[in-house]
Amino acid sequence: MTPPSTPARVGIIGANGYGGGELSRLLSRHPGVELVGFSSRQFEGQPFRKAWPNADLEGTFENAQAVTERADIVFLALPNGLAMDLVPPLLAAGKRVIDLSADYRLPPEVYAQWYGKTHTSPELCAEAVYGLPELNREALRAARLVANPGCYVTATALALAPLARAGLIEGSVIVDGISGISGAGRNAAEFSFAEANENVQAYKVAGTHRHTAEMEANLARAGQEAVVTFTPHVAPYTRGILVTAYATPARPVSEAELLELYRAMYADEPFVQVLEGELPTPKAVSGSNRCDVAVRFDARARRIVAFGAIDNLMKGMAGEAVQNLNLMLGLEETLGLPRWGMWP
Amino acid sequence: MTPPSTPARVGIIGANGYGGGELSRLLSRHPGVELVGFSSRQFEGQPFRKAWPNADLEGTFENAQAVTERADIVFLALPNGLAMDLVPPLLAAGKRVIDLSADYRLPPEVYAQWYGKTHTSPELCAEAVYGLPELNREALRAARLVANPGCYVTATALALAPLARAGLIEGSVIVDGISGISGAGRNAAEFSFAEANENVQAYKVAGTHRHTAEMEANLARAGQEAVVTFTPHVAPYTRGILVTAYATPARPVSEAELLELYRAMYADEPFVQVLEGELPTPKAVSGSNRCDVAVRFDARARRIVAFGAIDNLMKGMAGEAVQNLNLMLGLEETLGLPRWGMWP
Amino acid sequence: MTPPSTPARVGIIGANGYGGGELSRLLSRHPGVELVGFSSRQFEGQPFRKAWPNADLEGTFENAQAVTERADIVFLALPNGLAMDLVPPLLAAGKRVIDLSADYRLPPEVYAQWYGKTHTSPELCAEAVYGLPELNREALRAARLVANPGCYVTATALALAPLARAGLIEGSVIVDGISGISGAGRNAAEFSFAEANENVQAYKVAGTHRHTAEMEANLARAGQEAVVTFTPHVAPYTRGILVTAYATPARPVSEAELLELYRAMYADEPFVQVLEGELPTPKAVSGSNRCDVAVRFDARARRIVAFGAIDNLMKGMAGEAVQNLNLMLGLEETLGLPRWGMWP
Amino acid sequence: MTPPSTPARVGIIGANGYGGGELSRLLSRHPGVELVGFSSRQFEGQPFRKAWPNADLEGTFENAQAVTERADIVFLALPNGLAMDLVPPLLAAGKRVIDLSADYRLPPEVYAQWYGKTHTSPELCAEAVYGLPELNREALRAARLVANPGCYVTATALALAPLARAGLIEGSVIVDGISGISGAGRNAAEFSFAEANENVQAYKVAGTHRHTAEMEANLARAGQEAVVTFTPHVAPYTRGILVTAYATPARPVSEAELLELYRAMYADEPFVQVLEGELPTPKAVSGSNRCDVAVRFDARARRIVAFGAIDNLMKGMAGEAVQNLNLMLGLEETLGLPRWGMWP
- Give B248-287 pLDDT, tens digit per residue: 999 999 999 999 999 999 999 999 999 999 999 999 999 9
* Torsion sign, CA atoms A65, A70, A74, A75: negative
**Chain D residues within 8 A of C202 when measuring between CB atoms:** 242, 244, 279, 307
CA-to-CA dists, residue D254 to A178, C291, D224, D301, D303, angstroms = 51, 38, 20, 13, 10
Q: Decide: helix, strand or coil at residue D105.
A: coil
Compute and round to an integer the Cα radius of gyration of chain C.
20
Alpha-carbon gap: A302 to the closest alpha carbon of chain B (Å): 9
The mean predicted confidence, pLDDT, of chain C is 96
**Chain D residues within 8 A of B198 when measuring between CB atoms:** 238
Domain C152-312, architecture per CATH? 2-Layer Sandwich (3.30)
Q: Is the pLDDT of residue C6 over 90?
A: no
pLDDT score for A219: 98
Q: Between A and D, how many CB-CB pairs are < 8 A?
A: 75
pLDDT exceeding 90 applies to what percent of chain B? 97
pLDDT score for C1: 45
Domain boundaries along the sequence of chain A: 8-149+316-329, 152-312
C42, C54, C193: best to mutate for the A interface, most A CBs within 10 A: C193
B152, B170, B173, B174: best to mutate for the A interface, most A CBs within 10 A: B174
Question: Which pLDDT band, with edges at 50, 70 and 90, does B189 fall under?
Answer: confident
Whether D238 and B181 lie within 8 Å, measured CB to CB:
no
Kindly state the average pLDDT of the residues B204-222.
96
Whether D188 and B181 lie within 8 Å, measured CB to CB:
no
**Chain A residues within 8 A of D21 when measuring between CB atoms:** 343
Q: Decide: helix, strand or coil at residue C236.
A: coil
Catalytic positions of B are: 151
DSSP line for C240-251 = -EEEEEEEEESS
**DSSP H/E element including C122:** none
Which residues of C lie inside 8 Å of B (Cβ-Cβ)?
18, 21-22, 25, 28-29, 52-57, 182, 186, 198, 238-239, 278, 281, 283-288, 290, 338-344
Whether B236 and A233 lie within 8 Å, measured CB to CB:
no
pLDDT score for D188: 84
Which residues of B lie inside 8 Å of D (Cβ-Cβ)?
18, 180-182, 184, 186-189, 191-198, 236-238
Question: Which pLDDT band, with edges at 50, 70 and 90, does A6 fall under?
Answer: confident
Nearest CB partner across the interface for B182, out of C53, C286, C344: C344
Nearest CB partner across the interface for C181, out of A18, A186, A193: A193
pLDDT score for A5: 65
**pLDDT tens-digit map of A244-276:** 999 999 999 999 999 999 999 999 999 999 999
Nearest CB partner across the interface for D52, out of A198, A281, A343: A343
Nearest CB partner across the interface for C342, out of B186, B287, B290: B287
DSSP line for D166-198 = TT-EEEEEEEEEEE-GGGG-TT-GGGBHHHHTT
**pLDDT tens-digit map of C241-256:** 999 999 999 999 999 9
Please name every residue paired with A247 in a beta bridge, in sequence order, or none if there are none. Answer: A304
Report which residue type is found at A61: F
Other CB atoms within 10 A of residue D201 CB = 22
**Chain D residues within 8 A of C205 when measuring between CB atoms:** 244, 279, 296, 298, 305, 307
- Cα of B242 vs its chain's centroid, Å: 13
C259 touches C319 (CB < 8 A): no
Q: Decide: helix, strand or coil at residue C16.
A: coil
Query: D189: nearest CA in chain B?
Result: B189
**DSSP H/E element including B207:** none
Closest CA to C121 of C145, C87, C94: C87
CA-to-CA dists, residue C8 to C145, C328, C329, D274, angstroms = 16, 11, 8, 57
ipTM above 0.85, yes or no: yes
pLDDT score for D257: 98
**Chain D residues within 8 A of A56 when measuring between CB atoms:** 288, 290, 338-340
**pLDDT tens-digit map of A291-314:** 999 999 999 999 999 999 999 999
Neighbours of chain C (3+ CB pairs under 8 A): A, B, D
Whether C344 and B287 lie within 8 Å, measured CB to CB:
no
Whether B181 and D196 lie within 8 Å, measured CB to CB:
no
**Chain C residues within 8 A of D195 when measuring between CB atoms:** 344
Report which residue type is found at B330: G
Q: Which residues in chain D show pLDDT less than 50? A: 1, 3
- What is the spatial distance between Cα B94 and Cα B237, in angstroms, rounded to a whole number? 41
Report which residue type is found at B13: I
**Phi and psi at residue D24, to the nearest 5°:** -60, -45
**Chain A residues within 8 A of C184 when measuring between CB atoms:** 194
Catalytic positions of A are: 151
Peptide bond into B282 cis (omega under 30): no
Alpha-carbon gap: B22 to the closest alpha carbon of chain D (Å): 14
Whether C189 and A192 lie within 8 Å, measured CB to CB:
yes
Compute and round to an integer the Cα radius of gyration of chain D.
20
Domain B8-149+316-328, architecture per CATH? 3-Layer(aba) Sandwich (3.40)
Alpha-carbon gap: A20 to the closest alpha carbon of chain C (Å): 15
Alpha-carbon gap: D216 to the closest alpha carbon of chain C (Å): 12
Q: Is the pLDDT of residue A4 over 80?
A: no
D11 touches D93 (CB < 8 A): no
Q: Is the pLDDT of residue C4 over 60?
A: no
Nearest CB partner across the interface for A242, out of B202, B298, B301: B202
Please name every residue paired with B192 in a beta bridge, in sequence order, or none if there are none. Answer: D192
pTM for the full predicted model: 0.96
D110, D176, D190, D195: best to mutate for the C interface, most C CBs within 10 A: D176
B183 touches D194 (CB < 8 A): no
Q: Between B and C, how many CB-CB pairs are < 8 A?
A: 75
The yes or no reply on domain D152-311 and CATH 3.30.360.10 is: yes
**pLDDT tens-digit map of C90-126:** 999 999 999 999 999 999 999 999 999 999 999 999 9
Q: Is the pLDDT of residue A1 over 90?
A: no
**Residue A254 burial class via C-beta count within 10 angstroms: exposed 0-12, middle 13-18, buried 19 and up:** exposed
Alpha-carbon gap: C236 to the closest alpha carbon of chain B (Å): 12
Nearest CB partner across the interface for A188, out of C187, C192, C197: C192
Kindly state the average pLDDT of the residues B172-196.
95
Whether B182 and D194 lie within 8 Å, measured CB to CB:
yes
Nearest CB partner across the interface for B192, out of D188, D198, D236: D188
Neighbours of chain D (3+ CB pairs under 8 A): A, B, C
Q: Is the pLDDT of residue B9 over 60?
A: yes
Active-site residue among D13, D84, D102, D151? D151
For the domain C8-149+316-329, what is the CATH superfamily, name and number? Answer: NAD(P)-binding Rossmann-like Domain (3.40.50.720)
Alpha-carbon gap: B40 to the closest alpha carbon of chain D (Å): 19
**Chain A residues within 8 A of B176 when measuring between CB atoms:** 176, 231, 244
